[in-house]
Structure 1
Amino acid sequence: MITLVLTNRNRDLRIVEKCLQSLHEQTCVDFELFLVDYGSNKGYKSQLETLLKLYPKIQYIDCPVEGQLWHKCRAINIALQQTNTPYFLVGDIDLIFAPTFIENAIRLAKPNEVHYFQYGFLSQEESLANKNFGSYELAFRGSEEVTGTTLFPTTALKVLHGYDEFYHGWGAEDTDVHIRMKNAGNAIFFYDKAVLVKHQWHPKVYRSKFSKHPFHSKLERINHSYMLLSYRAQRTIVNQNIDWGSPTLKEDYEKLTSIYRYIHIKCTLIEVNALLAQMANFNNEVILIEITPLSLSDKVKNILKHLFGRKHQLLYNMEVVNNLLLEAIIKQFRNNPYSHTFNRSQKSIQLKMYFK
């Protein structure tokens, strides 16, 4: 038996419905299905939950992490920790599955083997159409580098502590787990005899600094370099110093509604670096941190001091401050309840976190 997990954040409900309906119409129903919603906004979530009433067999996990970086690996691992079936299948919420997809996955499933499936990509126009699976015409086929839908032996994946939860945002997490499974002695197979999953077109709404969601301008490149280091080090087991697949407890996130301490600093190198170091000392308290640029008058004074060779403040660009703060969260505090916003028009960063 197989457990399939889908992860979601604010994905167009028309796309979600097509995905779920394709799984509802499988020729083989011998599978369990988790849908992990990781941080959709409240209005959207209400509509999603209404849709899910049409599919009562879906095990829905609501992670109330709005205002956090997208963290697909943690969302997957939360479902993995609850999985008791011999095989675990990771899919994408923007796919349409062939009616025989689960049937084929069960046939392929073997201990010590990992199988992943070729994507067929639909155009924007084709994605909006309502057709049966076979009638959707492909714009192009994905290569072996598209690793998003993968079938794992559950125990083998759990031995490696699942997906590496360092990865936030987008990029490399799927390839990383393939590398580590191979390093651990599992065979990796690419299924391209037929296209069993078709990808619905959608805009990349989260991968932009103009989005309201937390965004790190260099994170995809960092993810790729991190993956290459894992490859060179022949890494297998990850998440060794954290509770991987840790659930997002509602009572912990409710603590963010009350603030124990407010900290306001300017974007000077000294103040920002001091804050990043001091964060390790916060414990069992909710802190609201606000970071802003120097005022215009202070900025002018600082420039004049620099011009006249006097001691002056070294300043961080606010985009750099945003990236540094998000990196600290990823490396040290990613399991803490938090909400992060960067208002680029007002040049103000706010981080609210419950330091456990």
Structure 2
Amino acid sequence: MKTFSSSLIISTYNWPEALRLCLLSVKEQSVLPGEVIVADDGSTAQTAELIEAIRQTFPVKLIHIWQEDEGFRLSKIRNKAIAICSYDYVIQIDGDLLLHRHFIKDHLALRKRGTFVAGSRVLMNKQLSDKLVHLQKPSVDIFQSGLTNICNRFSIRWLSRYMADRYRNQDIYTLRGCNMAFWKEDLVRVNGYNEVFHAWGREDNEIAVRLLNSGLKKRAIKFGGVVFHIFHPEADRTRFRETDGLLLDSMLHKSVYCTQGLNQYLGSFAPVVQIESALAV
């Protein structure tokens, strides 16, 4: 398999069965990332044990970075992961996704200086999700029942290139943090994720606002970068009004930088837990 100098960040919290499927789908990529960093927002030891087991056959460098469980702190753990990325291009997903075998290849095909990339997802229903988790099967037949979002299932290179700069490029709501890609230097410029977000929602839209305000353009990865989302109950949205307010504040003030962000970890940050693949040494 080919590798490219990119870092893949996988966010996770207390769902090792889904994370294992996600990592297995990474192993099957037609083009591998240079490294994988699991950004763990306070999972129990079961997740660390899973990574310890799977690293023995993992084809690239595998790092597990962990922080104490003190509530929803996704922005913080993502910043910690970004800080230790070895490569200049960062692809970001969540640990409840199965990746199409050309996911990394599709993202790399759209990388372009002065831009960041936002993708979408295919939802799987509970029945299909439970089946795949039970069987630990990391691949999905795009025509099988139990899938939604028909147009999001296909990887078509020429159509992906055509749509990249045409599909809702100014819409900061048309993106999902579970499928994005950035140049690391751009994340450093806007100081990464805003850690004032302590509840689910809008942290991904807010960083997009600052990236756009800093002069970058948003590219859409449609008909490429395909991911399949494993069903789970919706996140707690009781504080959504609060996070929506933080987003609107950044929009109103045309923010390009956050004060509580990535710079806390650059240069001096050492991960609490780090596990590297023996094959990468």
> Which structure has the larger Rg over C-alpha atoms?
1
Which has the larger displacement, 99-108 or 139-148?
Answer: 139-148
Structure 2 Cα separation of the partners of residues 158 and 60 of structure 1:
21
Q: Which residue of 2 aligns with 1:37?
A: 40
TM-score using structure 1 length: 0.61
| 1:202 to partner: Cα distance | 1.6
The 5 A counterparts of 1:4-153 are: 4-11=8-15, 13-55=16-58, 57-66=60-69, 68-127=70-129, 128-129=131-132, 130=137, 132-135=139-142, 136-137=144-145, 138-140=147-149, 144-153=174-183
- Residues 86 and 133 of structure 1, relative CA distance in 2, 3 Å threshold: same
In 2, the alpha carbon distance for the partners of 1:108 and 1:168 equals 32
Cα distance in 2, alignment partners of residues 42 and 30 from structure 1: 26
CA distance in 2, matches of 1:56, 1:179: 35
Could you tell me which residue of structure 1 aligns to residue 187 of structure 2? 157
Q: Deviations over 1:200-219 (max 9, x none)?
A: 11234x63xxxxxxxxx843
Structure 1 pair 132–249 and aligned structure 2 pair: CA distance change class (3 A): closer
Q: State how far apart, in whole Å, the 1-side matches of 2:108 and 2:225 are.
A: 16
- Secondary structure, counterpart of 2:197 in structure 1: coil
Q: Give the Cα–Cα distance (whole angstroms) in 2 for the partners of residues 42 and 78 of structure 1.
A: 19
Quote the offset at 1:241 in angstroms. Answer: 8.3
Distance 1:242 1:177 in 2: 12
Is 1:166 aligned to residue 205 of structure 2?
no
The separation in 2 between residues aligned to 1:99 and 1:9, in whole angstroms, is 24
Deviation of 1:134 after TM superposition, in Å, equals: 3.5
- Out of 229, 233, 236, the residue aligned to residue 249 of structure 2 is 229
Which of the numbers 170, 190, 193 marks the counterpart of 2:220? 190
Per-residue CA deviation, residues 129-176 of structure 1 (Å, 9 max, x unaligned), is 336333454223679343431111110111111111111231001111
User: Per-residue deviation at 1:125?
Assistant: 1.0
2:210 matched to which residue of 1?
Answer: 180
**% identical equivalent positions:** 19
Aligned equivalent of 1:310: none
- Pair 85,37 (structure 1): closer, same or farther in 2 beyond 3 Å: same
Residue aligned with 2:37, SS = strand
Structure 2 unaligned blocks of 5 or more: 153-172, 273-281
The answer to whether the 8 A contact 2:20-2:50 is kept is: no
Conserved? CA contact 1:35–1:58, under 8 Å:
no
Q: 1:220 aligns with which of 240, 250, 253?
A: 240
- Partner Cα separation in structure 2 for residue 184 and residue 195 of structure 1: 25
Query: Structure 1 residues 33 and 45 mapped into 2: Cα distance closer, same or farther (>3 Å)?
Result: closer
State the secondary structure of the residue aligned to 1:15.
Answer: helix
- Deviation of the 1:230 alpha carbon: 0.5
The answer (yes or no) to whether the contact 2:195–2:261 under 8 Å persists in 1 is no
Normalised to the residue count of structure 2, the TM-score between the two structures is: 0.75
Distance in 1, matches of 2:270 and 2:84, equals 14
1:180 and 1:234 in contact (8 A); partners too: yes
Give the whole-Å Cα distance in 2 for the aligned partners of 1:107 and 1:186: 18
Say whether the 8 Å CA contact 1:5–1:33 is kept in structure 2.
yes
CA distance in 1, matches of 2:140, 2:10: 19
SS at match of 2:264: coil
C-alpha RMSD of matched pairs (Å): 2.7
Between 1 and 2, higher relative CO (CA 8 Å, sep ≥ 6) is seen in: 2
Q: Are residues 194 and 88 of structure 1, via their aligned partners in 2, closer, same or farther at CA, if it must alter by over 3 Å?
A: closer
C-alpha displacement of 1:76: 1.0
Q: Aligned-pair distance for 1:244?
A: 2.9
What residue is the counterpart of 2:162 in the other structure?
Answer: none
Match for 2:203: what amino acid? E
Q: How many residues align?
A: 239
